[in-house]
Structure 1
Amino acid sequence: MNHEHARIMVVDDDPSLLRLLSIRLAGAGYQVESAESAKVALGVMSSFQPDVVISDLKMEGMDGFALYEQVRQRHPNLPVVIMTAHGTIPDAINATKQGVFSFLTKPFESKQLLDTVEQALKLQPLSSGQENTESWRKNIISRSSKMAQLLQQTKQVAQSNFSLLIQGQSGTGKELLANAVHRASKRASAPFTAINCAAIPESLLESELFGHVKGAFTGADQRHVGLFEACHGGTLFLDEIGDMPMNFQVKLLRALQEKEIRPVGSTQSIAVDVRVISATHKNLRKAIIEGKFREDLYYRLNVVELEIPALAQRREDIPLLAQHFLHKGKHQTDNVTVSGFTQEAMELLITAPWPGNIRQLENVIEQSIALATEPLISEQLISNALRNKPSELPSFAQARDQFERDYLAKLLRLTNGNVTQAARIAQRNRSEFYKLLNRHHLTPEAFRDANDESPLE
């Protein structure tokens, strides 16, 4: 954005100071609106959408922090600067821990004021004053420079139709970023559909993506439209692409190259116009070396690559995210009296390691809300939630693999390692059964009794 024409809202119940601040900011080239109370400011903001709000802390009626709470609910990413006298510095510091961008101690020089505003604008390039044009990223809550750079790249690549690969740890918000790409693109009015490749059984993945015709297999009593066809003109997000079975990767490659799909059981191909965005937390280059991912598919998917930072790399976003999850979570429970965090609790949130990233942060906030007995969430509640990790439910793919491995091992024990008998019980042909054994690294010989000399087959 052009900082020279940025919009500034100044709020102070001292008319002379309010006028002086407005003159200083207007002289620096900013568009300035002023308000003598927080309530007036909220009214003005219904028609004037600022890029930065500067408010006094101590005011009659609604004070500066209460104004911040109202602003945060309406515009979570809008930076708010609090002005304070010497006697209220502790309050201002606490406000900063709650997500307020910064504070200015009176009296302050014009340069300090302008430097603070400039810094707020640099960390907030996608401002609420641009909501009509920047609504594409409204679900991404951030003011960090790392995310600002990523979002600038995101908006740029959104204008093309190239395939896009998003790299990032689990829980960082890869699907949110993919959706932002879609919303910023010319395909925004068409469907956006997400699918987790690790959660779909291999036998169903082709039908799910390409569809099938009536009678294609047992139970296919009607035609099924696959996601590629359903997303025609839009965007298809393939999450956990690194877990896609090798057998299906060549079929996906063909669909991307030819821009057409063939439903299961059909002899006719269907042309599709779909932008594919894929994501993974795995190292695909390593997977290629290990023979677990096709190199040609990798280059087809990775025309442009975006890497989303871990939460530990964008700690300045933690107060904003924590307040967002607090506001969201307390309306999902009966505990609506919770209003914020103690200073110690916020400091603990900011310094925690967060291996589970934003997903873990949301879980910690939800646990703390559920157990809170005071208006402010304490450091102890946060500490307990961080220490007592919830039991993790395995993914569908993990659960399926565990079942297959246990089932196959049980069959081999039951048949004393006889593959022919085991395959017959499983109602699978021997070659398919051997493939299953190889996939799970099971050898029939390991299940034979030492004194059993009967043939394995």
Structure 2
Amino acid sequence: MSQKACVLVVDDDADMLRLLSIRLTAAGYRVVGVSSAEAALSQLAVALPQLVISDVQLPGMDGLALFAAIRARHPVLPVILLTAHGTIPDAVEATSRGVYTYLTKPFDGKALLETIARALVLSATAPVDEPVAEAWRADIVSRSSAMAEVLAETRLVAASDASVLIRGESGAGKELLAQAIHRASPRAARPFVAVNCSAIPEALLESELFGHVKGAFTGAVANRRGLFQEAAGGTLFLDEIGDMPLPLQVKLLRVLQERQVRPVGAQQSVPVDVRILSATHRDLEAAMAGGEFREDLYYRLNVVTLTLPTLAQRREDIPLLAQHFLDRLATKYGKKLNGFASDAMSALATAAWPGNVRQLHNVVEQVCALTTTPLIPLALVQRALRVPTVEVLTYAEARQRFEHEYLVNLLKLTDGHVADAARLADRNRTEFYRLLQKHGLTPGLFRGESLPGEAPDLPVAL
């Protein structure tokens, strides 16, 4: 650790503050000393140190409350607490919540310096130049504690090569988080390749992932590299992994185990070096129980899990995101826009947001396109929020919903006779049964006088 590391010291005892400053300066650290938690937070807003040392007993906000505030705003910034005998239990409890360690007064100067050195070496600290350090997550606009926790875990996970499974509702920003992991990883200079497993027809997905050789199938007029090879040395992001067909799950597992891919029609395998990130809005545990997702593949992909909060769980981010989207879209539409009227912003902040951040972006784009005033009025926001939910569906989600409704109507028409339904759909029975299984539809429910009108709808996350 560089001897120019900056340490923020917080103590209301002027003599102790001076003593600590002298000792740390002599050891080669740059020291900023303040006498209250409030002053410390103000200093953090100006420039971020690499370590905070704070007394527990402070006037006004105490050291434990200061730590909580630091944790919410700068989750990876290490904090050392200085405690008198009476506050040791509080300090011990604080270490379980993320405080690096605590030192009991009076403390040995050598022990203090050793503790500081270990904290600076072992902790994933935010450097003094925060804008540069935060470039890896620049596309993720947030100030909420819920996202701060996710991003702190993300930064730590990114340094490894472990496979990561990102969970979250549709529209929550799973691909953005995957890109952030890639940018913060040692593979950042190599390609980031994303593929939506539910958006590519099953017959083409294998070729898309693993490539093919000339003549492997009708239309294969030349050799083609798959996405695994395109991502060589970098990161491959498998979005909606829960929708991958079972036969392809077997082949993906083999690739992950052997670190080799065999293009469709090829005789030889090709070595690949990629990091796998995957994402889903499905309950994979339920899918495994239902035989729709392989358990061995699940554990291979799910070395580390990151769970994105819904937009409703990070409401403090809504004004920030809305203004961010408005600034970008104003340029796109060539308009000079100043922001949202207060009642319009209030409507955004209290809306349900079933489509999460993607839906918020769509709402802001609509009001941006339609507004004739620099300040977005409440009426336009209310109008955009009443847009039918299909407006916030992705292509994959719209296709999923169409398939489900189409199958339901066929089963109604044929009284649940699969052979007849498959014939009308121009599909063989095996493929048709696979579609029914994918959508959780039981043909027997559509037979006889007592059919319930329609099969129960599967939940479709928006």
Going from structure 1 to structure 2, the CA distance change for 1:143 and 1:5 (only over 3 Å counts) comes to farther
Matches within 5 A, 1:175-190: 175-190=175-190
Asked if the contact 2:407/2:436 (under 8 Å) is kept, the reply is no
Going from structure 1 to structure 2, the CA distance change for 1:432 and 1:28 (only over 3 Å counts) comes to closer
Cα offset for 1:387? 2.1
Gaps of 5+ in 2: 11-30, 37-42, 49-58, 76-125, 448-462
Q: Tell me what 1:314 maps to.
A: 314
AA of the residue aligned to 2:172: T
Distance in 2 of aligned mates of 1:313 and 1:281: 16
Going from structure 1 to structure 2, the CA distance change for 1:152 and 1:3 (only over 3 Å counts) comes to farther
Asked if the contact 2:7/2:32 (under 8 Å) is kept, the reply is no
AA of the residue aligned to 1:280: T
The answer to whether the aligner puts 1:4 opposite 2:8 as a matched pair is: yes
Going from structure 1 to structure 2, the CA distance change for 1:363 and 1:262 (only over 3 Å counts) comes to same
How many residues are paired up? 353
Q: Tell me what 2:338 maps to.
A: 339
Q: Tell me what 2:17 maps to.
A: none
Q: Which moved more, 1:125-134 or 1:308-317?
A: 125-134
Distance in 1 of aligned mates of 2:46 and 2:366: 32
Asked if the contact 2:344/2:378 (under 8 Å) is kept, the reply is yes
Going from structure 1 to structure 2, the CA distance change for 1:221 and 1:231 (only over 3 Å counts) comes to same
Matches within 5 A, 1:433-444: none
TM-score, structure 2 as length reference: 0.66
Identity of aligned residues (%): 51
Q: Tell me what 2:374 maps to.
A: 375
Distance in 2 of aligned mates of 1:292 and 1:362: 33
CA offsets 1:2-31 (integer angstroms, 9 cap, x no match): 77289xxxxxxxxxxxxxxxxxx965299x
AA of the residue aligned to 1:303: V
Q: Tell me what 2:296 maps to.
A: 296
SS at match of 2:131: helix
Going from structure 1 to structure 2, the CA distance change for 1:28 and 1:259 (only over 3 Å counts) comes to same
AA of the residue aligned to 1:362: H
CA offsets 1:307-343 (integer angstroms, 9 cap, x no match): 0111111112112111101101111114x23201122
SS at match of 2:265: coil
Q: Tell me what 1:389 maps to.
A: 388
Cα offset for 1:439? 6.5
Going from structure 1 to structure 2, the CA distance change for 1:228 and 1:347 (only over 3 Å counts) comes to same
Q: Tell me what 2:214 maps to.
A: 214
Q: Tell me what 1:81 maps to.
A: none
CA offsets 1:133-182 (integer angstroms, 9 cap, x no match): 33111111111112111111111111111110000111111101001111
Distance in 2 of aligned mates of 1:341 and 1:429: 54
AA of the residue aligned to 2:145: S
Cα offset for 1:206? 0.4
Distance in 2 of aligned mates of 1:127 and 1:165: 28
Q: Which moved more, 1:355-364 or 1:366-375?
A: 366-375
Gaps of 5+ in 1: 7-24, 31-49, 55-77, 79-109, 448-457
AA of the residue aligned to 2:132: N
Going from structure 1 to structure 2, the CA distance change for 1:422 and 1:124 (only over 3 Å counts) comes to closer
Cα offset for 1:267? 1.4
Q: Tell me what 1:86 maps to.
A: none
Q: Tell me what 1:249 maps to.
A: 249
Cα offset for 1:195? 0.5
Going from structure 1 to structure 2, the CA distance change for 1:230 and 1:4 (only over 3 Å counts) comes to same
Q: Tell me what 1:205 maps to.
A: 205
The answer to whether the aligner puts 1:352 opposite 2:302 as a matched pair is: no
Distance in 2 of aligned mates of 1:312 and 1:155: 24
Matches within 5 A, 1:73-84: none
Going from structure 1 to structure 2, the CA distance change for 1:354 and 1:410 (only over 3 Å counts) comes to closer
Cα offset for 1:389? 3.4
Cα offset for 1:231? 0.8
AA of the residue aligned to 1:206: E
AA of the residue aligned to 2:369: A
Matches within 5 A, 1:30-429: 52=45, 119=69, 122-124=72-74, 129-334=129-334, 336-389=335-388, 391-392=390-391, 395-396=395-396, 399=399, 402=402, 426=426
Asked if the contact 1:52/1:120 (under 8 Å) is kept, the reply is no
Distance in 1 of aligned mates of 2:403 and 2:148: 44
SS at match of 1:268: coil
Name segments (4+ residues, structure 1) moved above 4 Å. 114-122, 124-128, 400-414, 417-426, 428-444
Q: Tell me what 1:38 maps to.
A: none
Cα offset for 1:350? 1.8
Distance in 1 of aligned mates of 2:378 and 2:70: 28
Cα offset for 1:259? 1.0
